[in-house]
Structure 1
Amino acid sequence: MNSLTSIGLTFKQLEKIFFEIGCEVARMQLQQFLEAADKELEKGRNRAELRHKGSRTTVIKTLMGEVVVKRNLYKRVKEDGTIEHIFLLDEALGLDTIGNISPNLVEKIVGHACEMSFREVAEAVSGLTGQRISHQGVWDVVQAVGERQVEAEKGLVRAFERNETSGEKEVSVLFEEADGLWLSMQGKSREGSSQGKKELKVGVIYEGWEKRYPSSKEYKTVEKMAFAGYMKPDQFKALRDAAITEKYNVDEIRYRILGGDGAAWIRNGHDTDTDIFQLDAYHLAQSVVRNVSDKQVGRHILRWLKAGDFEKVFDKIQALKYDCGGVESEIDKLTELEEYIRKNMDGIVSYKDREQVVMPKVPAEMEYRNLGTMERNVDIFAKRMKGAKSWSERGATHLSKMIALKMGKGFNDKIAALISGKLSERLVERFEEAIRNTRSGIHEAVRKSAYPMHRGEIPFGNSKVTNGRKAIRRMFDLRPFSEMVYR
């Protein structure tokens, strides 16, 4: 058969071969650009301030594979007399790599780590880029980026406490929900835990709901922000308030509606005139189902609770205690339910049905619905984190912060802000020129090799032989290139 398939190649193999070739060209071009830029920086440096200390070779792991770069090292004496050694190229690139891994590759690693185990991420990245990254290396990346996010959040809270944050966006209503996820702990993190587990705090903030698409019956939250980690209640509240103040003009917020299961750490600090607590309907129903044996009676109790008819509820609970014939376990369960309801009475009736709450006009294409998105949000963390046998507080906090970032908008931009700066103006100009020259050269090479193709040389005829190149050369050995067609 006179076709590509006669040599045993599938399109999948062909695609991979050309992908590897493209990556090889990209690595070469990037190496040449970086080393040329480093030479320019060497020529233009302040020789009195920066003493040349020779060159150093490093390997940067990138989306295209490993790029070997030789760059110059310089010695500089600071104003206080201390000595530091720097790479001008790294400063000009705004490059702050984690384990010599490029920012783009870090973004991919962290993004995958939010959904897959560290071992699975290592296999996926290694298979895609043709370079080996261990699961420990993936863990190191997540911890490094997570630590930077922790520091960024601390900085935001400090700015908030100094009244230095002032958002501009104006909304009348803001919805907040919080819940916890119990994770098994390891080592010293088990100290103070309950049966070896500790509660990871998770919170979300959003402006309302909108349909996923015009004719959809499903809804999604608008402008969601998420935050998570092992924090004390006051730290959780400070981070939540700082995140709100950074984005919104808080003077224009009429109501902050908080949904939760009634835990003290969730309600902590929510006691102003703008705060409205809403007990999570799922947890309320769960408490009734667990503590009322008669399911039909349980449904009646839930209906009365929704209507705010608490007198009927408490009368029925007392009647159930009497009817159970003194069975202590039944009485204990009914008492637990009664205490839970009394503790959270102010949040049981829907905020929309309360006389003292006058909701403002809903923004166009948005709705104010009943709260209850938290279970789904917590499930996102649980699917990734429950699979592990155990966690350290530090490790769980760092990964949870990455998951929280990914749940909001602009994940890649946020990760990039944590790990890389910007090119210097001088390098931007050189980069643009290099790209133009590279594209021009590639276009010219393609034009010459394509017209007429039967006159061109066999690809890679004078190049180093790799497995991919061998396969392509075997293709061209079959017949004249001009006669090769798909059949």
Structure 2
Amino acid sequence: MKIIQHTLQKFLLVVEKIIGLLDGKYTYLEFEEELKKILNELGKEICADVLHELDQSIYKDKYKRKNWVVVQKDCERTITTAFGDITYKRRYYKNKETGEKAYLVDKAAGIQKYERIDAEIKADITDLSTILSYQKTTQELKRNGANCNVSRQTVMNTLRKIDNLQTYEKPKTKKEIETLYIEADEDHIHLQNGKPDIVKLIYVHEGKQTITKGRNELKNAVYFSGVYEGEKVEELWKEVWEYIVNTYNEDKIKRIYVSGDGAEWIKFGVKYLPNAVYVLDLFHLQKYITAAIKEDKKTKRELWKAIFKADKQKVNELLTQKYKELELNGTENPVMKCQTYINNNWDGINSYSLYKKEITGCSAESHVSHVLSERLSSRPISWSKVGAHKMAKLRAIKASGISLKDVVLKQQYESLKPIEIPKQTVYKAKQQLKKIRSTYENIISLPILQNKKTLTSQAIKSLLLRNAI
């Protein structure tokens, strides 16, 4: 078993570099660079050795690989890791019963078919790309110490292959709560074909809680996002409902407040969810009123007063009067737009009168900016629909407080079994380590080395131990 020998030899090189540093042969920065090279080489050699030993173990254990026969050996493969590119050889098998062909060592190690990067790099790429461009992600990988060359294309391909990630943590016992809040809005992005598109955002929470004076926070907010067009909107709301069912005792929920700007896909959610009450986001209503009334403060005050009293007749009278006063024509003027918007969303406005004590307000606009726009639309960037959909879902998971790196690694490893090396091989390795430890203890007990620790004594120990290995 070469792993222990490689490890000890490399660490002896580290000792020699330390002695060289103390003896004035290197500057500290030169030493740091040399140390990094040694440890990266050690990491590559150990990983390659482990894969080799695992391949040998599978080949020798005919019981575990029952019905699998070797059809080709010494098949070479290179995979990129944080240590650098690792090249190893393995056997190609065929199942006599099913006819399936596979590299069993790759299966055992969790290395996917056609994958060029390992799980650790894949997880880092996923996490970094949610805050950085594809190009900057590759640069940040190197800055973080990864000794690998990953291209912008590799980053994009990696993200597109990611699927079925866990979007929230399922509690062991369901919560019992009477009121839930859902807020929804959308972000407008540019596609690579020059056309605009919409990314939808929904988040569920239990209300607001005070963190510090003057600062509130949504309680247990969980986010859902993606490019859902046409009939696919139902899939998005289905995800939301599944989360509610998995997290809360739905029989105890009396009301679910759904806040939004009146878009049809948001109103669809009101119809889709049980006990749902539509609440119009006042931020969007204010924009329509400001555009229609402009600087007329008196009419504006009267209009808001009528709105909060749920006096629909008075609202329409005020807007009709304003329309006549300005002598506007057509239906596309701001006053008529405001009146139409209010009438189409009256149920959402009336909710403020019916459920005044429970409604907490809506902050969807700022959440869209924080969760989506920062990465998807704040800079001049164009997306494919697939890329935008993936990125939105990843940003939503991250906004829910879940570590993307942990989620990706868990998905990769949850079906794997611990690596098992033949007991005889492990026994030989332990005996070799025991012999080396005994030799080292005898070396350091020599009288010449019992004196004050000097560069000479350290060098002698290093050389004697190297010979022992």
The TM-score normalised by the length of structure 2 is: 0.76
SS of residue in 2 equivalent to 1:183: strand
For 2:85, the equivalent position in structure 1 comes to 66
For 2:228, the equivalent position in structure 1 comes to 230
> Cα distance, 1:25 vs. partner?
2.6
Q: Does 1:51 pair with 2:69?
A: yes
SS of residue in 2 equivalent to 1:119: helix
Query: For the residues of structure 2 that align with 1:314 and 1:425, how far apart are their CA atoms?
Result: 71
- The answer to whether the 8 Å contact 1:176/1:204 transfers is yes
For 2:393, the equivalent position in structure 1 comes to 401
> Cα distance, 1:282 vs. partner?
1.6
Q: List aligned pairs for 1:275-424, cutoff 5 A.
A: 275-294=276-295, 296-297=297-298, 299-300=300-301, 301-324=303-326, 326-328=327-329, 332-348=333-349, 354=354, 369-386=360-377, 387-410=379-402, 411-424=404-417
Query: For the residues of structure 2 that align with 1:23 and 1:37, how far apart are their CA atoms?
Result: 21
For 2:261, the equivalent position in structure 1 comes to 261
> Cα distance, 1:50 vs. partner?
1.8
- The answer to whether the 8 Å contact 1:202/1:378 transfers is no
SS of residue in 2 equivalent to 1:149: coil
- The answer to whether the 8 Å contact 2:224/2:397 transfers is yes
Any stretches of 5+ residues in structure 2 without a counterpart? Answer: 1-20, 465-469
The partner residue of 2:55 within 38, 54, 59 is 38
SS of residue in 1 equivalent to 2:189: strand
Amino acid of the structure 2 residue aligned with 1:235: E
Change in CA separation of 1:269 and 1:371 when aligned onto 2, cut-off 3 Å: closer
SS of residue in 2 equivalent to 1:267: helix
> Cα distance, 1:114 vs. partner?
0.8
Query: For the residues of structure 1 that align with 2:346 and 2:110, how far apart are their CA atoms?
Result: 55
Query: For the residues of structure 2 that align with 1:143 and 1:54, how far apart are their CA atoms?
Result: 32
Query: For the residues of structure 2 that align with 1:25 and 1:56, how far apart are their CA atoms?
Result: 23
For 2:8, the equivalent position in structure 1 comes to none
- The answer to whether the 8 Å contact 2:277/2:351 transfers is no
> Cα distance, 1:407 vs. partner?
1.8
- The answer to whether the 8 Å contact 1:179/1:378 transfers is no
Amino acid of the structure 2 residue aligned with 1:375: S
> Cα distance, 1:206 vs. partner?
2.1
For 2:134, the equivalent position in structure 1 comes to 118
For 2:102, the equivalent position in structure 1 comes to 86
Deviation string for 1:431-478 (max 9, x for gaps)?
xx89x97xx99x97999999946222399999xxxxxxxxxxxxxxxx
> Once structures 1 and 2 are overlaid, which stretch shifts more, 223-232 or 134-143?
223-232
Q: List aligned pairs for 1:180-195, cutoff 5 A.
A: 180-187=186-193
Q: Does 1:427 pair with 2:411?
A: no
Query: For the residues of structure 1 that align with 2:82 and 2:209, how far apart are their CA atoms?
Result: 36
Deviation string for 1:312-344 (max 9, x for gaps)?
4322212211221x2337982101101111111
Amino acid of the structure 2 residue aligned with 1:247: T
Q: Does 1:175 pair with 2:181?
A: yes
Q: Does 1:239 pair with 2:239?
A: yes
> Cα distance, 1:302 vs. partner?
3.7
- The answer to whether the 8 Å contact 1:92/1:427 transfers is no
Query: For the residues of structure 1 that align with 2:32 and 2:210, how far apart are their CA atoms?
Result: 39
- The answer to whether the 8 Å contact 2:78/2:87 transfers is yes
For 1:209, the equivalent position in structure 2 comes to 208
Query: For the residues of structure 2 that align with 1:428 and 1:291, how far apart are their CA atoms?
Result: 76
> Cα distance, 1:149 vs. partner?
3.1
Deviation string for 1:247-306 (max 9, x for gaps)?
333222221111111011111042366111111122111222223222525752345434
> Cα distance, 1:169 vs. partner?
3.6
- The answer to whether the 8 Å contact 2:262/2:345 transfers is yes
> Cα distance, 1:139 vs. partner?
0.6
Change in CA separation of 1:56 and 1:242 when aligned onto 2, cut-off 3 Å: same
Any stretches of 5+ residues in structure 1 without a counterpart? Answer: 157-165, 191-195, 360-367, 463-487
Aligned length: 417
Deviation string for 1:58-100 (max 9, x for gaps)?
2222223222222222122334xxx322122222234436732
SS of residue in 2 equivalent to 1:457: helix
C-alpha RMSD of matched pairs (Å): 4.0
For 2:164, the equivalent position in structure 1 comes to 149
Change in CA separation of 1:175 and 1:19 when aligned onto 2, cut-off 3 Å: farther
SS of residue in 1 equivalent to 2:91: strand
Change in CA separation of 1:222 and 1:377 when aligned onto 2, cut-off 3 Å: farther
- The answer to whether the 8 Å contact 1:95/1:420 transfers is no
Amino acid of the structure 2 residue aligned with 1:59: T
> Once structures 1 and 2 are overlaid, which stretch shifts more, 215-224 or 390-399?
215-224
The TM-score normalised by the length of structure 1 is: 0.73
- The answer to whether the 8 Å contact 2:83/2:148 transfers is no
- The answer to whether the 8 Å contact 2:208/2:216 transfers is no
Change in CA separation of 1:77 and 1:248 when aligned onto 2, cut-off 3 Å: farther
